[in-house]
Amino acid sequence: MITRKKLLVGGICIIILILCIVGGNYLFSVQTYKKTVSDIKIGSVDLSKISDGTYTGSCDVVYVGATVSVTVKNKKITNIVILNHKTERGKPAEVIVDNVVKAQTLQVDSISGATNSSKVILKAIENALNSPNKN
């Protein structure tokens, strides 16, 4: 006959095992996220080769993601709208679009405290401008 004590110990062991599995999966996903963000490289875009129009691009790295709309007119970026920004603490990075429009380059400084979101937004802009399709 199984005693209550044995059932209780068995139940606690099962709960601990489940917590270890869930925790391990979470730690693995965080490590993957950090590596993916660190591997993001922002290239340069030759605006002289981009036709006038509005382009959409996105970048998603699990915990942070962005979709942007980039308007080009007369070989200049005239407007960038963030259509979607999935983030936890990266909202301050959204001002980076103004820096890109002002500088006319993707080679701008990341926003302090929101580096991951900055990189994701810049990559979304790069993907939009490298997209062969405009809206």
**56 and 26 housed in the same domain:** no
Residue 109 lies in a domain: yes
The domain tally of the chain equals 2
Q: How far apart are CA 110 and CA 84, in angstroms?
A: 19
- pLDDT grade, residue 106 (50/70/90)? very high
**Bigger pLDDT: 27 vs 58:** 58
**67 and 103 housed in the same domain:** yes
Q: Is 58 helix (H, G, I), strand (E, B) or coil?
A: strand
Burial of 38 (0-12, 13-18, 19+ CB in 10 A): exposed
**pLDDT for the residue numbered 133:** 64
**35 and 67 housed in the same domain:** no
**103 and 123 housed in the same domain:** yes
The CA-CA-CA angle for residues 113, 87, 85, to 5°, reads 110
> Which domain, by its residues, includes 12?
1-39
**51 and 90 housed in the same domain:** yes
**pLDDT for the residue numbered 124:** 97
**pLDDT for the residue numbered 105:** 95
**63 and 90 housed in the same domain:** yes
**102 and 124 housed in the same domain:** yes
